[in-house]
Structure 1
């Protein structure tokens, strides 16, 4: 880049966290260089369902939904077993409404609260989404907002190779721009928002070996460099064994069903035609349970009522339109089409329906819904996947990267998948929405913190 280019903040990664960090910093007066590995290869946010967890928003208030940051935090901490950076989780929950309002007011995406599904572990309806309820619409609008912001310079296909530091302070990055020649790019603040390590088999083997058999459904650019760059400068890491599983991946289609299916009444059977778990347990912790079934797959069974309820959900429609969901007039035909024992499937569904009516106890402890499954039937082959990792660089509530002694590394901030998340350890601590709420809120905070020297000088 030209020596005349002067930047106050450098943000590495233009996904959810990086884009909002860049926009926030720019609106506070900073000149921002936003470096992206590959727009074409996408981001985790782009591949997600696009649901945004937040508490105390104006959208909830308009609908009379009672929620608060304290209640959101209690839900998250209960799900992760009390294992998280409490101060950071508290700040994310407190500021979560701010990123929702920023996306609406400054990014320009029309939002609503989804009240079709009460997600597992949520004490209130707090999932917000755009009209299509799909991550791609969210990222597309972020890209438009970045392009319209004159203080942000986005460079695609940037090959960042490391951090620059002087006297214990991060002063910039080294990167190949344009012809690939390595350059030293300097700024007063650097935000690492370059995702986690879901697509790095070596790091998964080291930190998340239980995820190795899961189908990877995240961005191919999530290879963990930001975490390793921070560690090379003496940064601490936290919760590196944490990852978000997805129990509704369609292995032959490259799609996945909505994680909300079980909350509407779907069930899963293995190749023996038998249920094997409480399906509404949570789609992350259900992932290894599916992988432990014969051939590591299951058939998810649901009905027309559930299809109608999810028809406007972008992720579900994508799977449906791809052919991953099949309709049958008779349950026997569904079983035969998936090579399942017909009589076993018939008994399994009948027993589940008795549980929904409350006339018999559910074999796995699901609460009676009062709504049995009925024809026409829908079936979809699913397996367990990994969407992204949840461990990363240890940060404080200001998104500053910390050393093992708890001291901030001057000039260095982390957000999104590069920063340690809110899901504790392993796969079971993930609460629906943790990924995007963490990414956007830490991104917003990092943008504020990294641009603070600019604000204070004006």
Structure 2
């Protein structure tokens, strides 16, 4: 889309939105429908943000789709599940603001915008800890299902002139009144994305909404904010923490740094982190019961492999050295068990064993351990103990144990716990105003979406649909009622 270079000098905007992802588009749409003069700025060449690559999971209680299927559900029950799953580490007030308004958001997407969902949805859960009720939805094209639905009204409002969009434009600073007079944020300073020249533009506005997403694509910032390396290269490339920096420079602060949680892991393509994801072994017992055992770097089992709670499994891996586990199996398991990696055969595993840095094979366990970087004495002892207990009680309580690990060659597949969500985020109040460390709001400055951090909505857990849904919901709330001009 073409833009007018001096557009910011001709207009004082009612609403300036930095970021055109789920939350930014939603804010712009609803503000423009109220008659606001809206400017949207994004560093990318088009709208969508992380929706281009995200799973696009949604969750909401009390939707029209639920009622049509005879499902009785309430926002109170949704909040109770979030607090249960997160062990009361989620921000109760922000989570309630999200879930108590989520049904209207999902109804808007599904009924007003015509977004399709999978035929059996809503469901109680998949990939993450299950809810107590069927309130979990996503479309056949994952995050792009949301993008396709929201993009239509967004572009219609651009075409009509109600929204002005500047793409390929990064925000490098804010304009702000002196602290002595309240420190109101009055605008943004921009330049073309990637430019290093001194040519900047200034755009003035009454309300500034930061919707820039996370910091996942900046490995140094990821490690600083989360306390662990950015193991996986699977993030939206513009998610580099620009909004966090802008909010802090304006007087705000970030919180929830201590709530990081990793997934139960993926196989990465190499160990020069961040590395691309090669594959993701199935570790959900409801999809495939595990035949193999899981050991840590020390060569010890640390979880019952058929533990039904994904949250328990994730927290167990979080306590292991380097957030790392190994899937250990023998030739008979590889030959007889259902495939553990989607779309892979046993021969696909054999072809990589000994040739790919994450797949190891050997004729004895001690050599296997040395090759994989596992403590050899402990691995030999662990496998011996596992085999000896097959006719009795498993030390970790595992019940599904179809075969011993006895037939050479033996295999070890290295799996890396990782996350591509931003746990920490800018602190806001329940009006979504960015706040200072003393709790006072910064006038004119708002934030939403993953910029607030997953920890605000999910605590130290993963609750399905609690990133995209709050982003869209908070944008709708800002646009329809919170922002004033």
Q: 1:47 offset after TM fit, Å?
A: 2.2
| 1:103 and 2:109 matched | yes
Q: What is the DSSP-based 3-state SS (H/G/I as helix, E as strand, rest coil) of the residue aligned with 2:146?
A: helix
8 Å contact from structure 1 (residues 421, 438) kept in 2: no
Question: How do 1:12-411 and structure 2 match up within 5 A?
Answer: 12-39=18-45, 43-112=49-118, 113-115=121-123, 117=125, 119-132=128-141, 134-150=142-158, 151-166=162-177, 167=181, 168-177=183-192, 181-209=199-227, 211-212=228-229, 214-243=231-260, 245-252=262-269, 254=277, 257=280, 261-267=284-290, 269-270=294-295, 276-278=302-304, 280-282=309-311, 285=315, 288=318, 292=322, 296-299=324-327, 320=342, 325-328=343-346, 338-339=359-360, 364=396, 382-411=415-444
Post-superposition CA distance 1:223-279 (Å, at most 9, x none): 212122212222233213334533343412636549884443443635999864256
TM-score by length of 1: 0.76
Q: What is the DSSP-based 3-state SS (H/G/I as helix, E as strand, rest coil) of the residue aligned with 1:187?
A: strand
8 Å contact from structure 2 (residues 327, 413) kept in 1: yes
Q: What is the DSSP-based 3-state SS (H/G/I as helix, E as strand, rest coil) of the residue aligned with 2:71?
A: coil
Q: 1:393 offset after TM fit, Å?
A: 1.4
Post-superposition CA distance 1:267-292 (Å, at most 9, x none): 36359998642564337536535764
Q: What is the DSSP-based 3-state SS (H/G/I as helix, E as strand, rest coil) of the residue aligned with 1:226?
A: helix
Distance change in 2, residues 1:332/1:47 (3 Å): closer
Could you tell me which residue of structure 1 aligns to residue 408 of structure 2?
none
Q: 1:66 offset after TM fit, Å?
A: 3.0
In 1, Cα distance between equivalents of 2:103 and 2:10: 38
Q: 1:417 offset after TM fit, Å?
A: 1.7
In 1, Cα distance between equivalents of 2:109 and 2:282: 23
Distance change in 2, residues 1:157/1:287 (3 Å): farther
8 Å contact from structure 2 (residues 259, 455) kept in 1: no
Which moves more between the two structures, 173-182 or 15-24? 173-182
Distance change in 2, residues 1:52/1:106 (3 Å): same
Over the aligned positions, Cα root-mean-square deviation in angstroms equals 4.2
Can you give the 5+ residue segments of structure 2 that lack an aligned partner in the other structure? 1-5, 270-275, 366-378, 404-411
8 Å contact from structure 1 (residues 17, 443) kept in 2: yes
| 1:440 and 2:472 matched | yes
Distance change in 2, residues 1:336/1:290 (3 Å): farther
In 2, Cα distance between equivalents of 1:27 and 1:327: 53
Count of residues in correspondence between the two structures: 421
In 2, Cα distance between equivalents of 1:108 and 1:254: 33
In 2, Cα distance between equivalents of 1:192 and 1:258: 36
Which moves more between the two structures, 408-417 or 148-157? 148-157
TM-score by length of 2: 0.72
8 Å contact from structure 1 (residues 217, 386) kept in 2: no
Can you give the 5+ residue segments of structure 1 that lack an aligned partner in the other structure? 308-318, 374-378, 454-458
2:448 to 400, 412, 415: 415
